[in-house]
Amino acid sequence: MRRLFPILVSASFLFLGVSAQAGSNLAQLLTSSPWCSFTYNKTTGYSHTKRYVFRGNGTYSMGSRGEGYSSGGGGTFASQRDSGGGGQWKVNGDQFFLSEGGEMEQVDYRIKTNSNGAPIIVADGVEYSQCN
């Protein structure tokens, strides 16, 4: 199963101030807003965004968009690719699990804060921040 939101190590919720309730804090954090990532390749001009929505009923959805431009003898062409998906999620204690329709798989996670103190979830080297 391909993990849509693989989150790397550490259950430290010091920014929330209550490490003893890490599991409930993680669930509250995930459902508090959508989570987005943005990457841009300045060499190719290609950008990619992902947006995850975790719902209180244990489901999540993911939307993804890639955009780019290419130039050649025929002119400049824009391209765009959209995709989506979703599945089930749950938090059990300080453990986080996801499923895309198959068996629930545990994912490790790491949470840090940005310079304004807002939480950032780091997943496979990609930072996810709260978004609209």
In a domain, 3, yes or no: no
Domain that holds residue 64: 14-130
Instruction: Output the domain CATH number for residue 57.
Output: 2.40.128
Give me the number of domains the chain comprises: 1
Backbone angles phi, psi at 15, to 5 degrees: -70, -20
Instruction: Give residue-wise pLDDT tens across range 54-112.
Output: 999 999 999 999 999 877 788 887 889 999 999 999 988 878 888 888 899 887 788 99
Q: Are 113 and 120 in contact (CB under 8 A)?
A: yes
pTM higher than 0.75 = no
How is 45-84 classified by DSSP, letter by letter?
A: TEEEEEEEEE-TTSEEEEEEEEEEEEEETTEEEEEEEEEE
Distance of CA 36 to the CA centre of its chain: 6
